[in-house]
Amino acid sequence: MTIADVRDILEAEVISGEGHLDTEVHNACGSDMMSDVLAFVKDQSVLLTGLINPQVVRTADMMDMVCIVFVRGKKPGDEIVTLANDRKIVLMNTPHRMFTACGLLYEAGLRGGN
Amino acid sequence: MVFWERLPGEMTMKLHYEVPGNDFTRAGEASGELKLKLKRLGFSSDVIRRMTIAMYEGEINMAIHAGGGVADVEILPDRITVVLTDNGPGIPDIEQAMKEGWSTAPDNIRSLGFGAGMGLPNIKKYTDMLDIKSVVGEGTSLTMTVLAG
């Protein structure tokens, strides 16, 4: 699926990176612990998190993740948006909670990888 | 700071970064910059990812535990070596610190998404060589290498 599909499935609002919505995504990872995310290496992944700080973007960047979804409608500050734009990472937020957001993507065929 | 040195038969790039200790949100800037440089130099995405994740974890550790430090990077065509040096409290038991889940990070760091005790295990997992030297009360030095051959 594409990042645009992720947006539609999660009823999400795109915060930045509108120009990259046709990028394909193959896996997803949901976590508020960035240390755990750093143990997860998959190409073209989506990160779902409830954490809002610049390290979320840095972590996603290190992992070559292409999209970050903030759950429960959380909105990142300007510093985070600027960093994500610089790294060409799409930011969006969904009104859904973490469990539901992960479930919706799983139901639509996205997997977490091995 | 970047400069090239010509060594017999090969080119080496050396980089030096200061890792801030007073602003956790800036930890990771150096590994982010290194990632861009390695991309420009044409290293494979696997090599870049492994090296920069390891360096990022090290930067986070230095910011959390040691009040910052310095990172010295040496890039050769067939390998990248990052040396992270700090003057922090040192690691009393390296074997313990290498165990997944073992952490002495304070709660405020956990609330920022780190301190799960995965830092050093992740560094070991992603690098081809890792050497840790630590003296309690003096500081810690991590030398990590990823082979690009």
Give the minimum alpha-carbon distance from A84 to chain B in angstroms, rounded to a whole number.
12
* B14-40 tens-digit pLDDT: 999 999 887 888 889 999 999 999 999
Nearest-Å Rg of the Cα atoms of chain A is: 12
Rounded CA-CA distance B101/B36 in Å is 31
In a domain, B3, yes or no: no
Asked if A93 and A99 touch (Cβ cutoff 8 Å), the reply is: no
In a domain, B36, yes or no: yes
| Domain tally, chain B | 1
**pLDDT above 90 for B145:** yes
Q: The domain containing residue B37 runs over which residues? A: 20-147
CB pair distance less than 8 Å for B24 and A55: yes
The gap from C-alpha B125 to its chain's centroid, in whole angstroms, comes to 13
Measured between beta carbons, which residues in chain B are less than 8 angstroms from residue A35? 57, 113-119, 122
**pLDDT above 90 for B10:** no
Give the minimum alpha-carbon distance from A34 to chain B in angstroms, rounded to a whole number.
5
Rounded CA-CA distance B55/B84 in Å is 8
Q: Report pLDDT for B108.
A: 80
Query: In degrees, to the nearest 5, what angle opens at C-alpha B75 toward C-alphas A58 and B95?
Result: 65
SS3 state at A52? coil
B35, B45, B118 ranked by CB distance to A36: nearest: B118
Question: A54-62 and B45-65 helices cross at what angle (nearest 10)?
Answer: 150
**pLDDT above 70 for B6:** no
* B57-108 tens-digit pLDDT: 999 999 988 999 999 999 999 999 999 999 999 998 888 888 888 888 888 8
Q: Report pLDDT for B25.
A: 83
Give the minimum alpha-carbon distance from A37 to chain B in angstroms, rounded to a whole number.
10
A44 residue type, one letter: Q
Nearest to B65 by CA among B30, B17, B97: B97
Q: Which tops the pLDDT comparison, A29 or B10? A: A29
Measured between beta carbons, which residues in chain B are less than 8 angstroms from residue A82? none
Pairs of CB atoms within 8 A across A/B: 70
Q: Which residues of A58-80 are buried (b: 16+ CB within 10 A; e: fewer)?
A: bbbbbbbbbbbbbbeeeebeeeb
Q: Which residues of B30-51 are buried (b: 16+ CB within 10 A; e: fewer)?
A: bbbbbbebbeeeebeeebbbbb
In a domain, B128, yes or no: yes
In a domain, B101, yes or no: yes
Q: Report pLDDT for B2.
A: 46
In a domain, B12, yes or no: no
CB pair distance less than 8 Å for B35 and A62: yes
At the top level of CATH, which class does the domain A3-107 belong to? alpha beta
Token pair for A56: 């979320």
* B116-140 tens-digit pLDDT: 778 899 999 999 999 999 999 999 9
pTM: 0.88
**pLDDT above 70 for B147:** yes
In a domain, B13, yes or no: no
Nearest to B105 by CA among B95, B116, B96: B116
B35, B53, B112 ranked by CB distance to A38: nearest: B53
Give the minimum alpha-carbon distance from B8 to chain A in angstroms, rounded to a whole number.
33
Q: Where are the domains of chain A?
A: 3-107
In a domain, B62, yes or no: yes
Measured between beta carbons, which residues in chain B are less than 8 angstroms from residue A59? 28, 56, 113
Banded model confidence at residue B1, pLDDT cuts 50, 70, 90: very low
Look up the CATH number of the domain holding residue B114. 3.30.565.10
B45, B112, B122 ranked by CB distance to A53: nearest: B112
**pLDDT above 50 for B7:** no
Residue-averaged pLDDT of chain B? 88
Token pair for A14: 């795109």
Q: What is the pLDDT along chain A (114 residues), one digit of tens a residue?
A: 999 999 999 999 999 999 999 999 999 999 999 988 888 767 769 999 999 999 999 999 999 999 999 999 999 999 999 999 999 999 999 999 999 999 999 999 998 876
In a domain, B11, yes or no: no
For residue B36, give the chain A residue with the closest CA: A87
